[in-house]
Structure formats: C-alpha cells, structure tokens
Amino acid sequence: MARLILEVNGASVVLTGSFNPTIFQPEWFLRQNLLPAEECGKAEIKVIAPQVCEFQTERFIIQVTTERFAVLSKPDANPAPIRDLVAGTFFTLPHTPLKALGLNRDMHFVLPSEEAWHQVETRLLQRTSGKESCRVV
C-alpha cells in the first residue's frame, strides 16, 4: 500500500437553527472570551449584515446566516479548537434555538501515482461496501 501524505487537515461544525448574524462579529467573540484579542484585531471581515455575517481569523472562517452557523478551520490550522469555540458560543447563548448539528472532517492526501490512488480507492470501497456515506472523489 502506498504511503499517504496528509496535505490538508481541516474540520467544520455546522448548526442549523435561528440566528441573528449581526451579533457574531469578532468583537463579540472577544467580549465573550472566545477568541483572543490579537486574533480578533487581525480578523478579515467579509460582510456584516442582518442576513449574513462572515469573517476570517488566522485559524477560523466563521459564516452565519439567519438559519445556519458554521465554523471552519483554515487549511493550515489545528482543527481541534473549533469544538471549544462552538461550545463556548452556545453556552453563552443558551436560548438560541438549534435544530441540527453537523460535524465534518476534511483530509486531503497526496499520493505518489495514479496507481497508488486506485489502490486506496479499491481498499476504501471494499471496507465501505453497502454504506451510502462513502464518497471517493
């Protein structure tokens, strides 16, 4: 079996429910002690509006609409802190109505050849036959 080299290691947490996007700004996360001042100060704000808020820090991408809250780790960042950020956010907002939670993992591997890729594909398909959640792209 070919040696797999991890190229991208990421994760995301997505919640559905009822949200007020305008409160989820870097300054709010700072006031709640959920993100450090240095990270909030360097945040790149894409948009803050009643329908959507999106910004990036050195570790996270935070996207909020009125029905969806998502935190994604950046490709070169450790994905583990997402758990604390999301848990802290909704412990701070205990009355926010939540409907569903999705935990997602992204891992991209570099393989030395197309033959090696097909070996991995075959092995994954053998291990997951009959399971609809497997997807090889």
How many domains does one find in the chain?
A: 1
How does residue 92 score in pLDDT terms, banded at 50, 70 and 90?
very high
User: Is 52 inside any structural domain?
Assistant: yes
**pLDDT for residue 133:** 52
User: Is 76 inside any structural domain?
Assistant: yes
- Give residue 29's domain range: 9-109
User: Is 80 inside any structural domain?
Assistant: yes
64-68, 79-83, 131-135, range with greatest mean pLDDT: 64-68
For the chain, the average pLDDT equals 89
The β-bridge partners of 49 are: none
| Distances from the Cα of 127 to the Cα of 69, 79, 124, angstroms | 33, 26, 5
What pLDDT, in 10s, does the model give residues 108-134? 888 888 888 888 788 878 876 655 454
Residue 97 has pLDDT above 80, yes or no: yes
Predicted model pTM: 0.79
CATH code (residue 51): 3.60.90
User: Is 130 inside any structural domain?
Assistant: no
Residue for token digits 């990036």? 56
Residue 1 has pLDDT above 70, yes or no: no
User: Is 115 inside any structural domain?
Assistant: no
User: Is 37 inside any structural domain?
Assistant: yes
